Amino acid sequence: MTQLEEDMAELSSAEDFLNYFSLEYDAVVVQVNRLHILQRYHDYLQRARPSMPQGEAAQRDVHRVLLQRAYQDFVDSTPLQEKVFKVLKDAAGESFVPLTSIEGATEQ
């Protein structure tokens, strides 16, 4: 395990991550969007993993850039617009539940 991985294993909040990577942030933005920021950061990391550079310093830079991008997404937008979580993605579309799928419903 690299030092970066060990350090990150100890981080638990959005503020911890932002402070660890020495990123400036508005506490109000983080307070309102902390879970969204962390999930977006995770999503960005998942997409970046196949092309993650070798070397801890380079990887640290990628993490920093991706966390900054995730934070900035919620400075410039809202959770409803960004739709990070499934419940918000579902809320944007129409849900249809056929009456026949409801327990106890009878056909007439």
Express each pLDDT in 38-65 by its tens digit: 999 999 999 999 999 999 999 999 999 9
pLDDT in tens, 60-93: 999 999 999 999 998 987 666 566 656 555 555 5
Structure tokens at 4: 């970066």
Whole-model pTM?
Answer: 0.74
Rounded Cα gap, residues 12 and 81, in angstroms: 25
- The pair of three-digit structure tokens given for residue 62, joined into one six-digit string: 């990628």
Task: Tell me the one-letter amino acid at 32.
Answer: V
**Which two three-digit tokens encode residue 63?**
């993490």
Break the chain into its structural domains and give their ranges. Answer: 3-101
Contact 9, 2 (CB under 8 A): no
